[in-house]
Every structure is written in C-alpha cells, then in structure tokens.
Amino acid sequence: MESLVFAMIQESSARPSAAEQARSLLGSHLTGHGVTIRLTEVEAYAGPDDPASHAFTRTARSEIMYGPPDRLYVYRIHGHHCANVVVAGPGPAAAILLRAGVVVDGTELARFRRVATRTGAIPDDRLASGPGNLCRALGITMADLDTDLTDASTPVTLESGAPHPGERVVAGPRVGVRRAADRQWRFWIDGDPTVSAYRRHPRRVREPF
C-alpha cells in the first residue's frame, strides 16, 4: 500500500515531489489530543538537496525523515514545537511542515491550551495559526514524535481531504528560512484568515537551486 499522501495524488505515475505532496495535504484533517483542524498552510522540506531542511545534514534528529512515511516528526525551536508529516519523496528524505489550520472540532480545548501563553481572548482563526501555535492547540509535544498517523488508536492522526470547491491554492517562499529562500515550497489556501503573513529571515542568503 502506498503512503497516505502519495495515494491522494491520482495522476502522474512518477514519484511525487515533496512540494507536490505538501500541496496535496491542504484540506486534510489533522487530529491531536482531542482537537481537529483542517490544514490551510504547509511547507515542503526535502533531503540532502535542500539546504533549508533538517535532513540536509543526516543526524540522529533528522533520521526520522529518512524513515517510513506517515510518521510525525516533531522538533523544538525557540522554545516552541513544530510538527511535520514524513513523506516518501523522490529523494531519500522529505517532510511537510504543518503551519496552520482551521479548528473544526475541540475548539474549547484548543482555546484552553492557547490561553496559557497569552493574555486575553484569542480569535478562533488564530488558534492554530503558525507552527508553534498549531502544536500548542493540538497538544503536540516531543512525546508524539514518531507517531504513526495512519494508526487510529494514536492521539495524533491524519485523514486525507481537499480544499473546498472554489478555494485556490497558492505558492510562495518558505517562512523564516535563511537558505534556499527562493524555493516556492510553501502552499496555502488563498485568502484563508488562518494563514500567516510571510516573514523573511533576517540574514537571508541567496542559493542557486
């Protein structure tokens, strides 16, 4: 059986790129510890050919990206958690960073989790906006590292879906990355209020593909 994300791409018999698989994740439902979101913003990260990817240097941390697909890769940055879906790309390693979503179930629980870090009310469209906020809303921590997302008995699961009729998918450069900043590997649903604004890395470097 093919991987979850790969199975959603119907045309093309060739192995889909990380970017194609990222795009195909939009509209899918991700459930984490009682909260479900519909994905609206994702980014693709590849292997040794992608200087912005953790898999660019193969270490104990990035090893999971070289392993089987449909596993959850969680890492910490600046004190926050970020969640990725490992996919089987044409290269030796790839994962999709989950950047934002609309909460479709467990809204009260998501609000409760987010309130801990912020004063005052949080608008519903900000509950899972940004990779760190997404993880906090869904209760995703390092304890969820390597979760099999196709196993319904785990606290974190992924169900395939697609953008609603009429919704447009757009692409742009990945947020906050220093290297390979010209690669248009970020995908989002055009006009969705949960999608974050683009921010350049303070010391962005140009990189020939």
Part in contact with DNA (CB under 7 A); list of ranges 14-22, 33-41, 50-58, 147-155: 50-58
Told to check if 176 binds DNA by CB under 7 A, we report yes
Three-class SS state of 139: coil
Total residue count of the chain as it appears in this document = 209
Enumerate residues 112-151 that contact DNA by CB under 7 A.
114, 117-119, 130-134
Largest CA distance in the chain: 50
- Buried/exposed 120-129: b ≥16 CB within 10 Å, e otherwise: eebeeebbbb
Among 24, 36, 62, 157, binds DNA (CB under 7 A): 62
Told to check if 47 binds DNA by CB under 7 A, we report no
- When the beta carbons of 108 and 168 are compared against DNA, the nearer one is 108
Among 19, 88, 140, 175, binds DNA (CB under 7 A): 175
Three-class SS state of 185: coil
Q: What DSSP string runs through 157-173?
A: EEE---PPTT--EEEEP
Told to check if 87 binds DNA by CB under 7 A, we report no
What CA–CA distance (Å, rounded) separates 19 from 67?
18
Residues 6+ apart with CB under 8 A from 165: none
User: Exposed, middle or buried: residue 78 (CB in 10 Å: 0-12, 13-18, 19+)?
Assistant: exposed
- When the beta carbons of 57 and 160 are compared against DNA, the nearer one is 57
Least distance (Å) between residue 67 CB and DNA: 14
- When the beta carbons of 78 and 164 are compared against DNA, the nearer one is 78
Three-class SS state of 204: coil
Residue type, position 107, single letter? T
Among 24, 84, 147, 194, binds DNA (CB under 7 A): 84
Among 45, 185, 187, 188, binds DNA (CB under 7 A): 45
Binding site for DNA (CB under 7 A): 43, 45, 52-55, 57, 59-62, 65, 73, 75-80, 82, 84, 95, 97, 114, 117-119, 130-134, 174-179, 196, 199, 201, 203
